[in-house]
Structure formats: structure tokens, C-alpha cells
Amino acid sequence: GAGVSQSPSNKVTEKGKDVELRCDPISGHTALYWYRQSLGQGLEFLIYFQGNSAPDKSGLPSDRFSAERTGGSVSTLTIQRTQQEDSAVYLCASSYFSSSIQYFGAGTRLSVL
Amino acid sequence: KQEVTQIPAALSVPEGENLVLNCSFTDSAIYNLQWFRQDPGKGLTSLLLIQSSQREQTSGRLNASLDKSSGRSTLYIAASQPGDSATYLCAVELGGAQKLVFGQGTRLTINP
């Protein structure tokens, strides 16, 4: 079937605005991950969802970041009061179960002006 | 804290050569190790996944090895082609943590 789909592919926003990034995982995959890729930091883990378990939020950089996963499928990453340092590519991945191969979407490039 | 290092940061070789990319990690208590490639402006594509109990995995011209006790993995690419040009990323999953810790990547260029 289709791969991991992320939208929008690009997002330009003004400092202080809120943004929502969407991820549609591969159908049937129970695990969903968000990562951030920036020039200075490389690829960093943000948050992980597995089935109906409480998410692992240990990678979220501040309380301005939150994410939810509705119905065990689509996930939304929300960044409130965006800052310039939030500019990065946000990547979503899913896997059939935890600790198996992760399949990545093409990412959302966020630019905060 | 787990740290993953990839050497070299960039590599340029002529087409047809065999090459090795290196990955090292500081905490040997890993659950698995994965190699990915990333093309410019694209997401990551999984190449090989090695479980902690395995020593190597092969897929076509790619062979990845894992020496957990020494904290090292190598990705061997045979008979390189221009289409192999990409950034190669190594990532480890700590036991029970599910999340991946990535290296900074090796940018590979294969010259025709």
C-alpha cells in the first residue's frame, strides 16, 4: 500500500504562531514516531506512540511541543508559539510493531521567520 | 547517554569501487542497529536492520556487520554506482526504548 504520508511538505510561519503537522502512517502499523532533523543537531527523536499505550514524550524539547494520535492512526504534531530555532525538517515514521524496521515519510520542512 | 558516530563525514569515490562506511556507538546495550539512506529533500529509506543477536545482514550489493561488544558496525557497498550517491545514516535502538539514536551520517558521492 501507500507509504507514510506527511503534510504539508513545506510550511512557512511567523514567529509566535502555532503550527500543526500531520502524519498518516502505513495502514496496520501500530508504532508511530516523530523525529526532527536540523543542521546543527542531526536527527533527534521527539515522541513515540505504540498502540493504546501512553506515548513516550521524552524527546520533546519544550512544553510548546505536543502530539496526539487519533484512533491509533493519524498523528498531529503541534508547535505553539513557534520560535526561529524550531526551523527544521520534521519526519514521521511508522513500523508494524515496535523495534522493527521504521518507514519514514518525506518530512515537513518548517521555516519560522 | 548513547552517542553514535559515523566516519567519514563525507566520501567521494569513482564508480565501481568497493567501499566501507563506519559507525560506532558508546553503549553496547542495543536492541538493534539500522542503516538508512537519505536522498536530498527526501525522507529516510531503511537499507538493513541487524538484531543485537546477529553478526551481519546482506541485501544485494550491501552488507552490514555488527560487533556489539566493541560498539561498531560497518556498511560495505560492493561495485558502487552513481545511484548509490546519498547520505547514509546509522541508528541504534536501545533495549526497551524503541526510539532510534542516529549518527550524523556519511555523505557519499560516486563519480561516473
> For all residues of chain A together, what is the average pLDDT?
92
- Residue range A6-11: mean pLDDT, rounded: 96
How much is the pLDDT for A1? 54
Of B49, B89, B99, the CB nearest to A48: B99
Residue B82 main-chain phi, psi, to 5 deg: -55, -30
The ranges of chain B with pLDDT < 50 are none
How much is the pLDDT for B94? 80
Q: Tell me if A106 and B43 make a contact (CB, 8 A cut-off).
A: yes
How much is the pLDDT for B41? 81
Residues 6+ apart with CB under 8 A from A106: A6, A9, B41, B42, B43
Check if the beta carbon of residue A2 is closer than 8 Å to that of residue A26: yes
A14-51 per-position pLDDT tens digit: 999 999 999 999 998 999 999 999 987 789 999 999 88
Q: Tell me if A101 and B46 make a contact (CB, 8 A cut-off).
A: yes
How much is the pLDDT for B79? 97
Residue among B98, B60, B36 at smallest CA distance from A96: B98
How much is the pLDDT for B97? 67
